[in-house]
Amino acid sequence: MIRLNNINVQLSKFALKNIDLHVEKGEFYSLLGPTGSGKSMLLETIAGLKNVKSGNVIIDKIDKTKEKPENRNISIVYQDFALFPNMTVEENIKYGLRFKENDPKYEENYYNLIKIFNIEHITDRYPKNLSGGEKQRTSLARGLVVEPKILLLDEPFSALDNHTKKQIMQQMKEIHKQFDITILMVTHNFSEVYYLADKVAIIDDGEIIQVNEIEKVFNQPENKFVAQFTGMENIFERKDIELGLPEELSGDPYIYAGIRPENIHLGNEICDLVFEGTIIDVYNNGTHLEVTVEYNNMKFIIFTINQLMNTRLKNGEAIQFGFNKKDVCYIK
Ligand SMILES: Nc1ncnc2c1ncn2[C@@H]1O[C@H](COP(=O)(O)OP(=O)(O)OP(=O)(O)O)[C@@H](O)[C@H]1O
């Protein structure tokens, strides 16, 4: 369990401001925010690598604000793997055990982890002879071998190609199920959060803006920033698309209406609201088309998997598009 009570950290011009965060024991929690928003700084504060100006870091109900990093029972894994170049995979993983007593359970952990991460065949190699995925698996195994209560992951997948990333994400899910461990993962990628985490905190400029279960943040973003950050590509002022508020929301200051690109339909599909616009861009990303349509000086991004339309969709052509009121998200 991690509890941050009103944490303030100042580093030169940047500050973490009044951070309150509560990660339950065994939870897979994610901290999502743009570059420079303070994600790494927050992780390092929890690990004891940054000093707090005020506030408390509570780990498993004990105040560890002043505790040294090595006494917090926390492992941290970085995006650039941070392996020792002069040590083999085995030596790197076992490095974490140097402060631990000689207990056969750690040897068991080691064999269990190299098996889960599928690195049994490369334990005598040095980091310079490893792929990015192998380096990250080694680094994760090193973090886990000591049986930390808490694992902090700092953008663990950002240096990996999509295929490797998916494999390691699946292994992380497995690890989370098998080990009794609380995980806090920092990322700027919402799809990683969506796949792995139970809960998410959104951070911007050193402040936490929204905390909730993933689905809730996805469906009810607190403001425009959170909406954009969680894949809501189409956000307009309600008055510009002449969209009234549903009765249950009346009285609240919802200025914007957001529609996810996958919820806008092209062509003659029957929708509550239908518009006619002009195609200004068609991008085929391999699995679906991303079509940009201009209507009334607004640009709508629309995803469609209807590849047959590919030949018909041309820049400059008029096209009908629409969406249903149930798919509109009202944003303050
Ligand atoms: N030691 C330091 N001294 C002064 N400023 C720092 C220090 N470390 C980080 N910063 C600044 O604090 C801000 C937050 O940095 P941080 O690394 O926590 O961001 P981040 O959200 O993890 O970004 P990224 O996604 O790019 O890793 C940045 O503006 C950074 O330049």
pLDDT at 37 over 90: yes
Q: What mean pLDDT value characterizes the chain?
A: 90
**CA of 14, closest atom in ligand 1:** 12
**CA of 203, closest atom in ligand 1:** 21
Residue nearest ligand 1's atom 2 by CA: 11
Q: Which residue has the tokens 């009285």?
A: 251
The arithmetic mean of pLDDT across residues 30-52, rounded, is: 94
pLDDT of residue 179: 83
Who wins on pLDDT, 299 or 269?
Answer: 299
Q: Which residue has the tokens 């870091």?
A: 57
**CA of 41, closest atom in ligand 1:** 18
**CA of 186, closest atom in ligand 1:** 22
Q: Residues spanned by CATH 2.40.50.100 within the chain?
A: 232-331
Alpha-carbon distance of 28 to 118, in angstroms, equals 22
Alpha-carbon distance of 138 to 57, in angstroms, equals 29
The arithmetic mean of pLDDT across residues 14-42, rounded, is: 95
Integer angstrom CA distances of residue 262 from 30, 191, 229 = 24, 15, 16
Residue nearest ligand 1's atom 25 by CA: 35
For ligand 1, pick from 9, 10, 12 the residue to mutate: most ligand atoms within 8 Å of CB: 12
HSE-up (13 A, CA, CB side) for residue 68 = 2
pLDDT of residue 182: 95
pLDDT of residue 70: 85
pLDDT of residue 308: 55
* Nearest by Cα to 108 from 238, 100, 280: 100
pLDDT of residue 309: 57
**What share of the chain has pLDDT > 90, as a percent?**
67
Q: Which residue has the tokens 């609240």?
A: 252
The arithmetic mean of pLDDT across residues 244-263, rounded, is: 85
The Å distance, Cα 36 to ligand 1 centre, comes to 5
Do residues 209 and 38 touch, judged by C-beta distance below 8 A? no
The Å distance, Cα 137 to ligand 1 centre, comes to 25
Residue nearest ligand 1's atom 12 by CA: 14
Who wins on pLDDT, 153 or 158?
Answer: 153
**What share of the chain has pLDDT > 70, as a percent?**
98
Residue nearest ligand 1's atom 1 by CA: 11
DSSP for 228-240 reads HHTT--EEEEGGG
pLDDT at 226 over 60: yes
Integer angstrom CA distances of residue 37 from 15, 24, 95 = 10, 23, 31
pLDDT of residue 307: 57
Residue nearest ligand 1's atom 30 by CA: 36
Beta strands in 111-204 (DSSP E): 150-154, 182-187, 199-204
* Nearest by Cα to 96 from 110, 114, 78, 108: 110
- CATH no. of 2-219: 3.40.50.300
pLDDT of residue 66: 93
Lowest-confidence segment of 31-35, 97-101, 137-141 by average pLDDT: 97-101
Q: Residues spanned by CATH 3.40.50.300 within the chain?
A: 2-219
pLDDT in tens, 98-139: 877 788 889 999 999 999 999 999 999 999 999 989 999 999
**The amino acid at 308:** L
pLDDT of residue 248: 78
The Å distance, Cα 11 to ligand 1 centre, comes to 9
The Å distance, Cα 31 to ligand 1 centre, comes to 14
The Å distance, Cα 37 to ligand 1 centre, comes to 7
Ligand 1 site residues (CB inside 6 A) read 11-12, 14, 33, 35-41, 188
The arithmetic mean of pLDDT across residues 314-320, rounded, is: 92
For ligand 1, pick from 19, 37, 46, 207 the residue to mutate: most ligand atoms within 8 Å of CB: 37
The top-level CATH class assigned to 232-331 is mainly beta
For ligand 1, pick from 17, 35, 40 the residue to mutate: most ligand atoms within 8 Å of CB: 40
